[in-house]
Amino acid sequence: MTPAARKTAVSLAREAHDFSERRACSIISADRSAVRYRHRRGDDATARARLKELAAERRRFGCRD
């Protein structure tokens, strides 16, 4: 079971059966820290655009055998 599926299962158990987070996690065997985890990726659109420019400018042709 993936972490995303476990998060969903915990939230459904909490809503449907009025369980606490601790109880729902113990029933589903999910770590509470994984359920509470929030993805915090920064906005790196400028860096990605620059990397794409460099990749287009300096093409890679592979290695010689």
Residue-wise pLDDT tens digits, 27-43: 999 999 999 998 888 88
Between CA 14 and CA 27 the distance in angstroms is: 11
Cα–Cα nearest to 34, from 60, 59, 11? 11
Residue 34 tokens read as: 């994984």
Positions in the chain whose pLDDT score sits under 50: none
CB 5 within 8 A of CB 16: no
- CB count within 10 Å of CB 35 equals 19
Residue 30 tokens read as: 């999910």
pLDDT for 61 equals 66
